[in-house]
């Protein structure tokens, strides 16, 4: 065997004649070229990825790992005894006594696969699909085809029927193949023209885009022609039903179907149709009687039989007690067996629904569950207004602390402090004025009214909007002097003498 030459090594030296838009890597390609590495690696043809769709691994559902254990293991599911899931995640039927206490019927561990898919495998909508599931659908269609072939072989048609069927099949298959589009848009000669139908005055609408009548209008139109139907007797409807039934019987492929021809043998057709109508009426009455016997009927519901099926009865609906009882719902609790029969459970009470999750468990000294209180789009405890899940309950003190924190956050405490200082100044002024022994009551009243008026003026001045001229020019001397006069200090010894008309004796 001649020696094989090794493949030639790729030339990794840079070629100055290669344009930059080919030699430079795009921004989304990691640039980890070191030394004499191939600088055109992003232009080379790389091997196919290993995680192709045909080799993609999927979860083996229902697979067990080896034989089941014979003894309950610590940390296993308390219900079935498997180690691969917890008790709350167990999908087996909940046992009356779990495998932890009985040690019997311990299930084997499930196979937990680690599936790592590529980009295409993650986005493949058919990944993990078993094609064997479609075998049942294919088998069903094959059985239907076999039944059709057996039915057609049992019924041997005549030569004329075969020829007619071949011609008809050829016409149906050739329809529209060689005809132009304009010819296929024309109506058939057997169809009734739209202008010959009984249309309402407001129902005929023509669609110029499709050059046809509106679909909704076609559904609302009658099936009779304009020159027919106004003098026909009532027997014409029965004749049309009989003719329709005769056509359907001729087109039927059932082996036992009678080929009825209404014009060739009208007597047979009339008797057969009458028999079929009687059977349909009897079947309908039997179904009605069965429902009435099972569910009962009120006094206003008549008992119609086959003899008076065609007669019209006036139905009266008296408000009787029996009818009320028949339709009145009750809230009484009734327990049934697996077969649907009621159980005489007069002494039993309704079973209380139990959850497999722990209930009425309040950790960390809480008296309510987390989520019983809501504030500022945050859930918390209603017992202490805490919004931390694992916090310790602080009771009413926690509520007070939460209210104070909210007040500081929203600035409510600052407003309360400001209002409190103003009230304190007013109280000091009132106390000093009351200490004056020679202050008459009338002067005190006038002074308090004047102070209230000045306070209202100051408040109104605060809320009043300033004009653009006042904003640009600033504060005038008159406004500054009026502000200094109106501003009072609690430490001023002469503040109590403002607004008094009498002189102070020295």
pLDDT tens figures, 65-118? 889 999 999 999 999 999 999 999 999 999 999 999 999 999 999 998 888 888
Instruction: Among 293, 316, 331, give the residue marking a domain's end.
Output: 293
Radius of gyration of the chain (CA): 49
H helix runs in 52-178, sequence order: 99-102, 119-122, 135-154, 159-174
In a domain, 82, yes or no: no
Q: What is the pLDDT of residue 318?
A: 45
Residues 484 and 440 in one domain: yes
Whose CA is closest to 83, among 100, 97, 95, 59? 100
Indicate whether 345 pLDDT > 80.
no
Instruction: Among 265, 293, 321, give the residue marking a domain's end.
Output: 293
In a domain, 381, yes or no: yes
Q: 3-state DSSP call for residue 457?
A: helix
For 20, the token pair is: 């930059």
249 vs 260: CA distance, rounded Å: 6
Backbone angles phi, psi at 179, to 5 degrees: -85, 145
433 vs 444: CA distance, rounded Å: 8
For 38, the token pair is: 């191939």
In a domain, 385, yes or no: yes
Residues 416 and 479 in one domain: yes
Q: What is the DSSP letter of 73?
A: -
Average pLDDT value over all residues in the chain: 74
> 184 pLDDT band (50/70/90 cuts)?
low
H helix runs in 342-440, sequence order: 395-410, 412-435
Q: What is the DSSP letter of 257?
A: -
Q: What is the pLDDT of residue 436?
A: 45
Q: How far is CA 133 from CA 66, 129, 130, 138, in A?
A: 27, 8, 6, 10
For 237, the token pair is: 């409807």
For 422, the token pair is: 């103003």
Residues 438 and 393 in one domain: no
Question: Average pLDDT in the 175-182 region?
Answer: 55
Cβ-based neighbours of 222, under 8 Å, separated by 6 or more: 197, 198, 229
In a domain, 246, yes or no: yes
Residues 390 and 442 in one domain: no
Residues 394 and 416 in one domain: no
- Within 13 Å, how many C-alpha atoms sit on residue 56's CB side? 19
Residues 425 and 393 in one domain: no
In a domain, 451, yes or no: yes
Indicate whether 285 pLDDT > 90.
yes
In a domain, 14, yes or no: no
Question: What count of residues does the chain have?
Answer: 506
Q: What is the pLDDT of residue 388?
A: 92
108 vs 69: CA distance, rounded Å: 7
472 vs 145, more confident: 145
Residues 418 and 385 in one domain: no
In a domain, 476, yes or no: yes
> 242-259 b/e with 16+ CB inside 10 Å = b?
beebbeebeeeeeeeeee
Q: What is the pLDDT of residue 347?
A: 47
104 vs 348: CA distance, rounded Å: 33
> 31 pLDDT band (50/70/90 cuts)?
low
Q: 3-state DSSP call for residue 333?
A: coil
23 touches 14 (CB < 8 A)? yes
Q: How far is CA 468 from CA 68, 216, 471, 478, in A?
A: 89, 68, 5, 18
Instruction: Among 254, 270, 293, give the residue marking a domain's end.
Output: 293
Residues 422 and 474 in one domain: yes
Q: pLDDT > 70: what percent of the chain?
A: 57
Number of domains in the chain: 3
- Model-wide pTM > 0.85: no
Residues 487 and 420 in one domain: yes
Instruction: Kindly report the number of other CB atoms within 10 A of residue 355's CB atom.
Output: 6
pLDDT tens figures, 441-468? 445 445 666 666 766 666 655 555 667 7
Question: Average pLDDT in the 248-264 region?
Answer: 76
Domain range for residue 402?
373-410
Residues 454 and 388 in one domain: no
In the block, residue with structure tokens 């990825």: 49
pLDDT tens figures, 409-446? 887 767 666 666 555 555 555 555 554 444 444 454 45
Q: What is the DSSP letter of 110?
A: E
In a domain, 402, yes or no: yes
223 vs 145, more confident: 145
Cβ-based neighbours of 320, under 8 Å, separated by 6 or more: 298, 299
Question: Average pLDDT in the 177-205 region?
Answer: 64
């Amino acid at each position: 065997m001649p020696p094989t030459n090794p493949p030639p090594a790729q030339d990794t030296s840079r070629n100055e004649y290669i344009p930059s838009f080919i030699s430079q890597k795009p921004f989304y390609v990691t640039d980890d070229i070191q030394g004499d590495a191939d600088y055109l690696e992003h232009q080379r043809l790389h091997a196919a990825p290993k995680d192709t769709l045909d080799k993609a691994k999927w979860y083996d559902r229902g697979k067990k790992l080896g034989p089941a254990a014979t003894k309950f293991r610590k940390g296993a599911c308390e219900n079935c005894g498997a180690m691969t899931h917890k008790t709350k995640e167990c999908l087996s039927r909940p046992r009356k006594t779990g495998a932890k206490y009985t040690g019997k019927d311990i299930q084997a561990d499930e196979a937990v696969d680690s599936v790592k898919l590529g980009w295409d495998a993650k986005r493949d909508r058919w990944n993990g699909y078993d094609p064997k599931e479609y075998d049942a659908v294919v088998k069903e269609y094959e059985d239907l085809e076999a039944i059709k072939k057996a039915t057609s072989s049992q019924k041997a048609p005549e030569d004329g029927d075969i020829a007619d069927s071949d011609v008809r099949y050829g016409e149906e298959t050739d329809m529209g193949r060689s005809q132009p589009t304009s010819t296929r848009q024309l109506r058939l000669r057997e169809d009734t023209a739209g202008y010959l139908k009984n249309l309402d005055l407001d129902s005929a609408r023509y669609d110029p885009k499709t050059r046809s009548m509106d679909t909704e209008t076609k559904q609302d139109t009658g099936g009779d022609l304009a020159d027919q139907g106004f003098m026909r007797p009532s027997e014409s409807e029965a004749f049309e039903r009989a003719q329709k039934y005769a056509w359907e019987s001729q087109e039927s492929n059932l082996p036992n179907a009678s080929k009825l021809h209404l014009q060739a043998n009208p007597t047979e057709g009339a008797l057969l149709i009458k028999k079929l109508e009687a059977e349909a009426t009897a079947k309908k009455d039997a179904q009605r009687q069965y429902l009435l016997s099972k569910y009962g009927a009120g006094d206003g519901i008549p008992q119609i039989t086959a003899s008076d099926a065609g007669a019209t009865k006036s139905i009266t609906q008296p408000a009787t007690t029996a009818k009320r009882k028949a339709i009145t719902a009750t809230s009484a609790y009734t327990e049934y067996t697996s077969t649907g029969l009621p159980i005489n459970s007069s002494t039993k009470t309704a079973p209380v629904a139990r959850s497999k999750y722990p209930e009425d468990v309040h950790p960390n000294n809480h008296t309510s569950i987390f989520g019983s209180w809501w504030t500022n789009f945050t859930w918390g405890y209603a017992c202490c207004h805490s919004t931390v899940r694992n916090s310790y309950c602080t009771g009413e003190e926690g509520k007070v602390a939460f209210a104070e924190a909210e007040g500081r956050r929203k600035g409510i405490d600052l407003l309360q402090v400001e209002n409190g200082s103003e009230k304190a100044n007013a109280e000091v002024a009132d106390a000093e004025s009351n200490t004056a022994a020679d202050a008459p009551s009338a002067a005190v009243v006038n002074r308090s009214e004047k102070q209230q008026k000045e306070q209202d003026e100051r408040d109104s001045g605060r809320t009043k909007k300033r004009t653009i001229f006042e904003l640009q020019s600033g504060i005038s001397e008159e406004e500054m002097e009026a502000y200094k006069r109106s501003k009072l200090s609690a430490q001023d010894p002469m503040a109590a003498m403002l607004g008094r008309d009498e002189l102070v004796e020295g």
